[in-house]
Chain A
């Protein structure tokens, strides 16, 4: 069974500092990996995804993520955090070879808090 681990419940950073939100996954074979963000009382917004190719993926709002196959990780990063980045962040994985009916599995989410 596939799974996603987001080991921290909350990440706190100061505005202007770099941020990292961690994600590790478990899946049979190669993965498709996604990051989503959720603001209060809103649906999820897509940030970026890894399908194949370059391990460093760039996404919306200055976010990027690095796929590391040996460590089965897909950490989300941003060089300089903004207060407006404060939200709930979800990592998700889908097996590439699980057949036509495979589903997307989400982690439990990490709350990012950026202080002014």
Chain B
């Protein structure tokens, strides 16, 4: 069974540009979660989508947004990139909410110059 996949693996942008990150969940999983892992800051929760709707949002500015498609894949968009947006962005998926385990993808490393 294929795991969570993310693309691209690496992304280099300049300040002010927009970045789009993509995630495909494990087959059968309807929930997709996005996390930011910046150096020294641990995992910070960004967004949670389930059945196409945004269920919860972390403490990030509105320029971080996303969506979930009918096939449950998801996009994370970061507008007006800032240098401090440089981080590893991790996507996870689960069957549903509650105690279901989140399974993580390998991440997209975003570098903002």
Binding site for B on A (CB under 8 A): 32, 34, 36, 42-46, 49, 51, 90, 94, 96, 100-109
User: When the two chains form their complex, are residues A32 and B98 in contact, meaning their CB atoms are under 8 A apart?
Assistant: yes
Q: 8 Å CB contacts to A: which residues of B38-79?
A: 41-43, 45, 48, 55-56, 58
Residue of B43, B48, B102, B105 with most partner-chain A CB within 10 A: B43
Hey, which chain A residues are within 8 Å of B98, CB to CB?
32, 94, 96
User: When the two chains form their complex, are residues A32 and B104 in contact, meaning their CB atoms are under 8 A apart?
Assistant: no
Hey, which chain B residues are within 8 Å of A106, CB to CB?
35, 42-43, 45
Known: A42-B106, A43-B107, A103-B58. A108 touches B101 (CB 8 A): no
Closest to A51 in B: B99
Q: 8 Å CB contacts to A: which residues of B78-107?
A: 90, 92, 97-99, 101-107
User: When the two chains form their complex, are residues B104 and A90 in contact, meaning their CB atoms are under 8 A apart?
Assistant: no
Known: A43-B105, A43-B106. A90 touches B99 (CB 8 A): no
User: When the two chains form their complex, are residues A103 and B99 in contact, meaning their CB atoms are under 8 A apart?
Assistant: no
Hey, which chain A residues are within 8 Å of B55, CB to CB?
100-101
